[in-house]
Structure formats: structure tokens, C-alpha cells
Amino acid sequence: MDYPAYIARTRDQSRALAKTIPDAMKGFGSLSRAVKEGGTLGIKEKEFVALGIAVAVRCEACIAFHAEALLKAGATREELGDVLAMAIQMGGGPAVMYAGKALDCWDQLAATRA
């Protein structure tokens, strides 16, 4: 899968959804901002939690967006590996398959930043 293109398509779909249900999407955006601001964990740690959950619940779009956010937050591939190992431990066999997708996504996005 071409993850940079997938992210762009998913963003377009989210924009279309926001035009259709603006109040709900504004509410979701407010929630997203609220949980990322403040608190005791930094943004990188919060994004690691989100990525681990994304792998465990098998949400490919979530994987792509949180991998992108982690790159922006300065995460390393080694840190990503630790999070993917925990997601596999929590999610079993299906998480193994989605952890592979998360690693592929990371590698593609990192290559576009190089």
C-alpha cells in the first residue's frame, strides 16, 4: 500500500464527512485536541498509546495517522518496535498482521521525509 497517498485520500474523506456532519466532526476535533494538550504524558507517548490501540483494534487509517504523528513528534523506529511488540502481545495473531502494516507505513513515511 502507498501510505502517503492513503493518508491524503483519508484526509479528503474526512473533509467530506466534516461537510456532511460538521457539528459531530468539530466535536471529535475538540476531543482530539483536548486529550493531546496538557496532562502528564507528552505528545509522543500519547501517540504511542494511540498507535498501539490502532494496531490492536486493526484500524489501518488510524495506524497511518498515528505513525505520521509519531514521525513529527521525533519518535524512532526502535521506539516504534517496542510499541508494536506490546500491541502484538495484547492483540495476538491479528495484531501481528497489523503491526507489519504499521512498520511498512512508518518506513514509507520516513522515506518521504529523507
9-65 confidence digits (pLDDT tens)? 999 999 999 999 999 999 999 999 999 998 999 999 999 999 999 999 999 999 999
Q: Residue 85's domain spans which residues?
A: 3-113
**Cell of residue 42, nine digits:** 507528552
Q: Does the pLDDT value for residue 81 go beyond 90?
A: yes
Whole-angstrom distance, CA of residue 103 vs CA of residue 101: 5
CA 92, 95, 97 angle in degrees (round to 5)?
120
Query: What is the model's pLDDT at position 65?
Result: 97
The rounded mean pLDDT for the chain is: 94
Domain count, the chain: 1
Give the CATH number for residue 20. Answer: 1.20.1290.10
What is the model's pTM? 0.85
Question: Are 35 and 46 contacting, i.e. CB atoms less than 8 angstroms apart?
Answer: yes
